[in-house]
Structure 1
Amino acid sequence: MEHQDSMDRAIRKSLWHVVPVITIMFVLAYLDRANIGFAKQAFQHDTGLSNAAYGFGAGIFFIGYAIFEIPSNILLYRAGARLWLGRIMITWGIVSACMMFAHTAPLFYALRFLLGLSEAGFFPGILLYLTFWFPLEVRARATGYFLVGAPLAFIVGGPISGALLSLEGSAYAFGLHGWQLMFLVEGVLAVLMGIWVLLRLVERPMSAPWLAEDEKTALTQEMEREDARKIEAGPAGISATFLDPRVMFLCVIWFLVQVCGYGIYFFLPVQIATILGTHVGLMVGIVSAVPPVCALAAVLFVPRLSERLAERRTIAALVFMAGAAGIAVSALAAGRPVIAIIALCVAAAGHLGVQPLYWTFPSSYLGGAAAASGLALINAFGNLGGFVAPNIRVWAETEFQSQNAGLYVLAASTFCGALMILALRRFAIDGYTAPRMGAAHRQAGNPAGERAPATPGL
């Protein structure tokens, strides 16, 4: 009982000290990744880039990201989170600021590709970092708090990006275009945060100054026991992880989640400008913050509901289905601004609300080096959806001569993702315990390969 009390206190303290830092990091990461959406109209006007060139440049980020994702996360596992996450933030901040020089299509493509290389490993690195601090039964909640950074990037960053764009031609722009000023300011913020991470980020519970000795010991022992169970039950080593059918199935689901998200967010400012019948500026920046506010509510509420009901698969699938419905209705509601924006709110909530539950599935199955490589593989494969989404949306709109066609394609792929989440039952993955099917478990007195009962919730 004393051990459990110490661990409960350690978790509560870590939620207050660890999560806000990584959430701020994610705000800056998401802002530097998605701010191209705010710059789209002005950027294309000043540079003469076509819609196809914009879509390719927006998406090529994820090719660079996917190439270096797995090596980056393995290096993080070996070098430590503080050093590697700080390096990631500083390099991506520098490249993001250099986007102010992207006056030609080749340079635009090159910088977006380098931005992906620079940021590779950040997201799965944070997910791996969370496995050092939070047991499975509370990890969905911790992941949800971290994912708050995505909507915050639009809630806070939307108006900021819109305001910087609106400085075009003013004395405060220092002779720069609004989009150039936006890339410069937001890139510098990432560099400054990266320097702070290098100096201050705490690696593991045993080195946390805010934890008492009994709290450090209790939390460390629990995380070591959990990791040992996953290593025993899951794939052994990096190569086995890449060939594991459960991991491959999870890759496809995350790919569809990313297609949904980037299909929405890369075009959100322009879509809202079209709905309102205006151009992208401060007003559109403010309205663009409304769907992420709903996503923020969902990512805080859904993990709590999941903990209370002790159910993840069904809730995750229903939330993602709601996102598919929201995307479809936003297309059907053309000419009805209020309904269209409400539908976009539902779409954003469905996209983000499913994510903290989704990431409990791989993190309940993968441990040790397999977790480092597996989480990176899933995110790398999934982030190819960031390349596919803008291109397939532009293709559908061009092919069918309709701005709504791309939204219908996104809605269909999102619905397929929800069905695949339900199908995780066939792999015995529930986000609480790892599937136990190996010989080691049969030798340990578990002849049928049953999964161990879930750890009671806190």
Structure 2
Amino acid sequence: MSIAPTASTPDIARSAIRKVSIRLVPFVALMFFINYLDRTAIGFAAPNGMNDDLALSAAQFGFASGVFFIGYILLEVPSNLALHRFGARRWLSRIMVSWGIVALLFTWVQNFEQLVVLRFLLGVAEAGFFPGAILFLSLWVPAQYRGRVLMLFYLAQPLTTVIGAPLAGFLIQQHGLFGLEGWRFMFLGVAIPAIIVGIIAWFYLKDKPSDAGWLTKPEQEWLTDALTAERTATEKKEKHVSVRFAFGSGRVWVLSFIYFGFIYGLYALAFFLPTIIEGFQEQLGVTFDFFQKGLITAIPYLPAAVAMYFWSRDASKRGLKTWHIAVPALVGAVSIPLALFAGSPAATIAVITVTAMAIFAALPNFWTLPTRFLTGVAAAAGVALINTVGNLAGFSAPYLTGLVHDWTGGYEVPMMIVGGFMLISAILMVLLARSNRVAPVEIEPAESEKAQS
């Protein structure tokens, strides 16, 4: 599949992709930044007053953290199908305002039962945002440029912790403002931007290149033609592009289980790293203020953002290979159990940093795969299904980690479980690549990248 070239095609392509990268990706990444911060804010609140004020055990906190994903999972596929029907601009905006309103209510939570209800409702409100954002960006750029664009989008996730952890620490320090405990004010401070940005998204986003007045006519035509040709080729090759096709595809299910392993590791770290840092204070005999805790929490994620950038850039230059996903999964599987043998807080953070680098290096490359063999409503259903199965780990990781911690009195066994799931992801990725049914797993580099090599 290719677009008939002209002398000016490379220049038009570069210009179009650059404008999409500048105009759309940062805004959608900002939405993702707020999304992930609101979702994981409970991890910052827990060791900074919430667990004590609400009298939560580690298992109760893990359950409250994970129950978010029950509502999220139940409505993930229906939400993405609604996005396909009503348009990404309207639906993503609706999702964001909805979760902002629910997130605001955490400011006044009084007990474990209320916390569980609000976490469940937050999952219901957020359902469909992440796969919808992935699908939205995939509808704007051809496959050979998709990895680069998704990498720029995915940078929001590690940067949420790099920026968000100190920000959460700063907000928690505002104890007493408006008569609120610090952790309650933090929930207030991270909820309001979701409502504001969600309203802006309604007017700012466009559903397709032909609607974008910031693209020239040749750029609109190139993007439209390239995406149409790609969609036509996929439909011709795969024959069926229905919801039933997506749900019956072995590739979709294997990708779902691969994603499960990555998400298990990601959320185990996201929810419990602040709590682990609390343990450092006892080991060192020191006390960190809220802002310092935020900075320490952010340490693994800045290198993770750098690793993501260069790993995705390599995949763009070489063409995406199986090892661009399998190797990070293997590194994560090996590194996280090594934290059990770290002799100091610094060594523990170093090992966790390697794990974070591995997870984030793989994820944007992983998400280029589903839309290589899914299109239309099948893409909406397939991407949502992969995210749904993967996010079962969002419930099981924090709950199982907290439960096993309560049983064993430490994080040794929970971290071994994390490593085991990531090892399974690495194995499945290799098996997927060796199967005759998985093509295309490897994606050719973009012409512009070939020219630069």
TM-score normalised by structure 1 residue count: 0.91
Determine if contact 2:329/2:362 at 8 Å carries over to the other structure: yes
- Counterpart for residue 373 of structure 1: 381
Determine if contact 1:331/1:404 at 8 Å carries over to the other structure: yes
Q: Map residues 208-247 of structure 1 onto 2, 5 A cutoff.
A: 208-234=212-238, 235-247=240-252
Inter-partner Cα distance in structure 2 for 1:430 and 1:419:
18
The reply to whether residue 348 of structure 1 matches residue 352 of structure 2 is no
Q: 2:303 aligns with which of 289, 294, 312?
A: 294
Inter-partner Cα distance in structure 1 for 2:337 and 2:144:
34
Determine if contact 1:38/1:280 at 8 Å carries over to the other structure: no
Letter in 2 for 1:121: G
> How many angstroms does 1:432 deviate by?
4.7
Inter-partner Cα distance in structure 2 for 1:331 and 1:364:
39
Determine if contact 1:364/1:432 at 8 Å carries over to the other structure: no
SS in 2 for 1:311: coil
Determine if contact 2:330/2:426 at 8 Å carries over to the other structure: yes
Q: 1:6 aligns with which of 6, 12, 22?
A: 12
Inter-partner Cα distance in structure 2 for 1:191 and 1:256:
32
Of the structure 1 ranges 19-28 and 204-213, higher mean CA displacement relative to structure 2 is found in: 204-213
Inter-partner Cα distance in structure 2 for 1:280 and 1:36:
18
Q: 1:91 aligns with which of 78, 89, 98?
A: 98
> How many angstroms does 1:403 deviate by?
2.2
Determine if contact 1:270/1:280 at 8 Å carries over to the other structure: no
The reply to whether residue 195 of structure 1 matches residue 204 of structure 2 is no
Letter in 2 for 1:255: F
Determine if contact 2:335/2:355 at 8 Å carries over to the other structure: yes
Letter in 2 for 1:423: L
Letter in 2 for 1:295: A
1:3-47 per-position Cα deviation (integer Å, ceiling 9, x unaligned): 343222211211111111111111000000011100012111111
- Counterpart for residue 3 of structure 2: none
Inter-partner Cα distance in structure 1 for 2:445 and 2:357:
28
- Counterpart for residue 181 of structure 2: 177
Q: Percent identity?
A: 34
> How many angstroms does 1:179 deviate by?
1.1
- Counterpart for residue 251 of structure 1: 256
- Counterpart for residue 444 of structure 1: none
Determine if contact 2:97/2:199 at 8 Å carries over to the other structure: yes
SS in 2 for 1:35: helix
SS in 2 for 1:312: coil
Aligned residues: 435
- Counterpart for residue 271 of structure 1: 276
Letter in 1 for 2:213: P
Inter-partner Cα distance in structure 2 for 1:337 and 1:51:
21
Letter in 2 for 1:113: F
SS in 2 for 1:402: coil
Determine if contact 1:294/1:349 at 8 Å carries over to the other structure: yes
- Counterpart for residue 79 of structure 1: 86
- Counterpart for residue 159 of structure 2: 152
Determine if contact 2:318/2:445 at 8 Å carries over to the other structure: no
Inter-partner Cα distance in structure 2 for 1:208 and 1:325:
46
> How many angstroms does 1:405 deviate by?
1.3
> How many angstroms does 1:132 deviate by?
1.4
Determine if contact 1:362/1:431 at 8 Å carries over to the other structure: no
Q: 1:416 aligns with which of 417, 424, 427?
A: 424
Inter-partner Cα distance in structure 1 for 2:278 and 2:408:
22
Q: Map residues 329-348 of structure 1 onto 2, 5 A cutoff.
A: 329-333=338-342, 335-348=343-356
Inter-partner Cα distance in structure 2 for 1:189 and 1:240:
38
- Counterpart for residue 30 of structure 1: 36
Inter-partner Cα distance in structure 2 for 1:279 and 1:365:
50
Inter-partner Cα distance in structure 2 for 1:408 and 1:294:
23
Q: Map residues 62-141 of structure 1 onto 2, 5 A cutoff.
A: 62-141=69-148
Inter-partner Cα distance in structure 1 for 2:446 and 2:203:
35
TM-score normalised by structure 2 residue count: 0.92
Distance 1:279 1:12, change over 3 A: same
Inter-partner Cα distance in structure 2 for 1:233 and 1:369:
16
Letter in 1 for 2:194: A
Inter-partner Cα distance in structure 1 for 2:234 and 2:410:
48
> How many angstroms does 1:279 deviate by?
5.8
Letter in 2 for 1:95: V
Distance 1:187 1:162, change over 3 A: same
SS in 2 for 1:288: helix
Q: CA RMSD in A?
A: 1.6
- Counterpart for residue 448 of structure 1: none
Inter-partner Cα distance in structure 1 for 2:409 and 2:186:
33
> How many angstroms does 1:323 deviate by?
1.9
Determine if contact 2:105/2:118 at 8 Å carries over to the other structure: yes
> How many angstroms does 1:297 deviate by?
0.7
Distance 1:432 1:314, change over 3 A: closer
- Counterpart for residue 439 of structure 1: none
